Amino acid sequence: MTGNVSESQDGLADFAGKVAVITGGASGIGLAFAQALAREGAKLVIADIEQGALEDAVRRLGERGTEVIGVKTDVGDRASVEALADRSWERFGAVHVLANNAGVATFGPTQAMSHEDWLWSMQVNLWGPIHGVEAFVPRMIAQGEGGHVLFTASFAGLVPNRELGPYNVTKAGVVALAESLRKDVRGSGIGVSVLCPMRVTSNIDHSYRNRPAELGRSTSTYSAEDLAALQGRTLAPEAVAALVLDAIRRNQLYIHTHKEAEPLVRGRSERIAAAFAHAL
Ligand SMILES: NC(=O)c1ccc[n+]([C@@H]2O[C@H](COP(=O)([O-])OP(=O)(O)OC[C@H]3O[C@@H](n4cnc5c(N)ncnc54)[C@H](O)[C@@H]3O)[C@@H](O)[C@H]2O)c1
């Protein structure tokens, strides 16, 4: 497609025969998204840091007849994401969907977070999607077949949660990255969406399982009660994945999953606007 394509033509109307790369695709939301795309007839590249879960996911998807490969990837490592892109094009000759989905959470008061908590969160949650944009988007545009970039941010990227400082910061960055990319690729054939869920059933509360040894153990003080106090329902990842496919077909920028998030997003916007009463 040329640079003159109108925005309405950006993105993908259907997924049959298309190639999707999903980071963090071996568990939770990423795995459910992979399964939903497989049902639509897409070919898949599952990228994950957890070897055992990655092998399981690839085997199970393959058993249902999906063309799928697994590529062990650390999204926080630029060379690893470049290698993922090379492997994807080498195997399938094209990439149409990039889901920058891998993410981790560290819990506790912002002021009590260790430097390593910040580093780990930034590497996976923010550098990961930046690496994805660097390694994939210019090639997806040059390939000229249209496509879609999905970012899994969080409700926390729109309204910060208590005791999730590094998570909130990185997810706000992901929202800004998606908004920026959306503006800059307009007319290129590439759609952009950012998923902003509240709680979804997954293994995110055990993120530390993939924490590199050199970044130490978490200083997390979060308890089961703290987790229970997070607002909103806990949705099934399959329901979220179905919503995401529909939103991609519409090239919808913000993907909200929980209706109960709406007053909270409006409340934050109103608090920001109210402070203009004191502006010059
Ligand atoms: N579950 C929720 O309630 C919720 C809510 C809002 C946003 N999210 C976001 O959804 C995304 C998916 O998380 P999930 O909830 O499915 O959790 P999950 O732990 O079930 O899945 C995350 C996957 O990312 C992988 N991963 C972790 N570090 C990685 C790295 N450095 N490189 C590559 N892969 C890595 C994990 O191995 C895992 O397979 C994350 O970005 C998360 O922040 C989750």
Domains of the chain: 7-278 (3.40.50.720)
CB of 44 within 6 A of ligand 1: the answer is no
Per-residue DSSP letters for 54-92?
HHHHHHHHHHTT--EEEEE--TTSHHHHHHHHHHHHHHH
Residue 93 CA to ligand 1 centre (angstroms): 27
CB-count burial class (<10 Å; 0-12, 13-18, 19+) for 204: middle
Q: How far apart are CA 149 and CA 131, in angstroms?
A: 13
Task: Give CA–CA dist 249/13, Å, rounded.
Answer: 5
261 Cβ inside 6 Å of ligand 1: no
Q: 3-state DSSP call for residue 99?
A: strand
Closest CA to 104 of 30, 36, 45, 46: 30
- Gap from CA of 103 to ligand 1 centroid (Å): 4
Q: Say if residues 87 and 72 touch (Cβ distance below 8 Å).
A: no
With a threshold of 0.85, does the pTM exceed it? yes
Quick check: is 222 catalytic? Answer: no
- DSSP classification of residue 161: P
Q: Is 50 in the pocket of ligand 1 (CB under 6 A)?
A: yes
Show pLDDT as tens, one digit a residue, over the chain (280 residues): 444 444 457 879 899 999 999 999 999 999 999 999 999 999 999 999 999 999 999 999 999 999 999 999 999 999 999 999 999 999 999 999 999 999 999 999 999 999 999 999 999 999 999 999 999 999 999 999 999 999 999 999 999 999 999 999 999 999 999 999 999 999 999 999 999 999 999 999 888 888 998 888 766 666 777 777 777 899 999 999 999 999 999 999 999 999 999 999 999 999 999 999 999 9
Residue from 54, 84, 104, 169 whose mutation best tests the ligand 1 pocket (most atoms within 8 A of CB): 104
Closest to 141 measured CA to CA, from 96, 99, 101: 96
Best CA proximity match to 42, nearest among 85, 97, 90: 97
152: Cβ contacts below 8 Å, ≥ 6 apart: 24, 29, 30, 99, 100, 101, 103, 174, 194, 195, 197
Phi-psi group of 131: left, alpha or beta (phi > 0 → left; psi -120 to 50 → alpha; rest → beta) = alpha
Q: With a 6 A CB cut-off, is 34 part of the ligand 1 pocket?
A: no
Q: Which atom of ligand 1 is nearest to the CA of 201?
A: 1
Q: Which amino acid is at 114?
A: S
The atom of ligand 1 lying closest to the CA of 237 is 16
Joined together, the tokens standing for residue 223 give 């308890």
